């Protein structure tokens, strides 16, 4: 055990400077305003103002040319719309699907590839991460080729004698929504892998070595030592996945446009359809307000329960 030697001479020689408190605080507070202003303006202009504009727009019957004030009629119509239930259910499926699949797969792939040799690990990570660089629309175009009734998936199934498993993947609910979640997972998993790898590589080596000395290995090592230390990264990954899933749009738009017959429509699709296809601008804004409220509430609840309180 190392002995710590006190140095009383240094402590006594350090002068204690007393500052006049009454003149410090006002100056400090006022001085911070110029530094905060750009951030506040940025958020106000790009986030708060558009949201308030949407709320205002949702109070009107607006066809893109003329407006008529109708109060909360648009929200009343929204609640009465039978498609809203399907839209919400599909959105919920997307939330659950994109929380479970990309996050869990991302974690598994990150842990597995992290333990591989340098060369093989890099190859595996590249194969998984590369799709993340592809846009949602490009992903959808590729998966359309795979999933349509005459597409590659059905052709392969027929070729290997599993013709009984072929189906019209994009035509019937819930297969169409589930198929698109799989396509989205293929594209989005790379993001989780990257973040988890960063987390894994920031775990102090000595904690792993200590556990190893104590005989922990494999699953026990992961469950008790590694995963708890990934908590900060996990919070971010799940949070991002939660928010992004609520806004899923481009993959759905290219693959099914929310169809056929609106069976695979999500809230984002409903908003787009009402505003830009039917030019029910007020109603579309009401959907946008609902979507925004859901997103903010979900993000806030999640962060509130996940982030440790700072004392």
Residues making contact with another protein (CB under 8 A): 46-47, 50-51, 63-66, 148-150, 168, 170-172, 232, 235-236, 239-240, 243-244, 247, 257, 259-263, 276-280, 288, 291-292, 295-296, 299, 302-303, 307-308, 310
Given the complex with another protein, which of 84 and 262 has the nearer CB atom?
Answer: 262
Tokens representing residue 11 in the block: 């402590």
How many degrees, rounded to 5, is the angle at CA 153 between CA 151 and CA 155? 70
Given the complex with another protein, which of 102 and 113 has the nearer CB atom?
Answer: 102
CB of 127 to another protein, least distance (A): 26
CB of 115 to another protein, least distance (A): 24
CB of 169 to another protein, least distance (A): 9
CB of 13 to another protein, least distance (A): 31
Strand-pair partners of 67: 62
Q: Please state, in angstroms and as integers, the Cα–Cα distance from residue 79 to each residue in 73, 76, 204, 279, following that order.
A: 10, 5, 52, 19
Q: How far apart are CA 211 and CA 169, in angstroms?
A: 47
Q: Among 253, 246, 294, 248, which Cα is nearest to 276's?
A: 253
Q: State the DSSP H helix or E strand holding residue 67, giving kind and residue range, or none if neither.
A: strand 67-69
CB of 214 to another protein, least distance (A): 25
CB distance 273 to 258 below 8 Å: yes
Given the complex with another protein, which of 62 and 113 has the nearer CB atom?
Answer: 62
CB distance 288 to 54 below 8 Å: yes
Given the complex with another protein, which of 91 and 113 has the nearer CB atom?
Answer: 91
**What is the rounded end-to-end Cα distance, in angstroms, of the chain?**
32
CB distance 103 to 235 below 8 Å: no
CB of 97 to another protein, least distance (A): 18
Given the complex with another protein, which of 216 and 238 has the nearer CB atom?
Answer: 238
Given the complex with another protein, which of 129 and 271 has the nearer CB atom?
Answer: 271
CB of 238 to another protein, least distance (A): 9
| DSSP assignment string, 258-286 | T-STTTT--HHHHHHIIIIIS--HHHHHH
CB of 242 to another protein, least distance (A): 8
Q: How far apart are CA 62 and CA 280, in angstroms?
A: 6
Given the complex with another protein, which of 109 and 271 has the nearer CB atom?
Answer: 271
DSSP count for the chain of H helices, then E strands: 16, 2
Given the complex with another protein, which of 194 and 235 has the nearer CB atom?
Answer: 235
CA 2 from centroid of its chain's CA atoms: 48
């Amino acid at each position: 055990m190392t002995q710590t030697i006190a140095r009383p001479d240094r402590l006594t020689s350090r002068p204690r400077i007393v500052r006049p408190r009454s003149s410090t605080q006002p100056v400090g507070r006022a001085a911070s305003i110029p530094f905060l202003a750009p951030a506040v303006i940025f958020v106000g202009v790009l986030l708060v103002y558009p949201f308030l504009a949407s709320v205002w727009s949702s109070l009107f019957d607006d066809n893109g040319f003329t407006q008529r004030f109708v109060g909360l009629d648009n929200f009343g119509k929204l609640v009465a719309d039978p498609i809203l239930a399907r839209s919400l259910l599909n959105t919920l499926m997307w939330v659950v699907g994109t929380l479970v699949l990309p996050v869990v797969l991302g974690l598994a792939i990150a842990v597995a590839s992290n333990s591989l040799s340098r060369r093989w690990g890099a190859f595996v990570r590249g194969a998984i991460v590369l799709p993340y660089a592809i846009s949602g629309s490009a992903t959808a175009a590729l998966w359309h080729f795979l999933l349509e009734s005459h597409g590659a998936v059905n052709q392969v199934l027929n070729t290997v004698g599993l013709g009984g498993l072929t189906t019209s993947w994009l035509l019937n609910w819930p297969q169409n929504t589930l198929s698109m979640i799989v396509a989205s997972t293929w594209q989005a998993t790379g993001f989780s892998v990257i973040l988890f790898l960063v987390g894994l590589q920031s775990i102090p080596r000595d904690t792993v070595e200590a556990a190893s000395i104590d005989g922990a290995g494999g699953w026990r090592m992961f469950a008790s030592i590694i995963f708890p230390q990934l908590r900060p990264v996990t919070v971010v990954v799940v949070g991002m996945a939660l928010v992004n899933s609520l806004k899923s749009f481009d993959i759905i738009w290219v693959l099914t446009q929310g169809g056929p017959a609106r069976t695979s429509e999500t809230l984002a699709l409903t908003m787009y359809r009402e505003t830009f296809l039917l030019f029910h601008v007020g109603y579309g804004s009401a959907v946008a307000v609902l979507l925004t409220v859901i997103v903010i509430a979900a993000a806030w609840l999640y962060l509130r329960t996940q982030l440790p309180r700072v004392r």
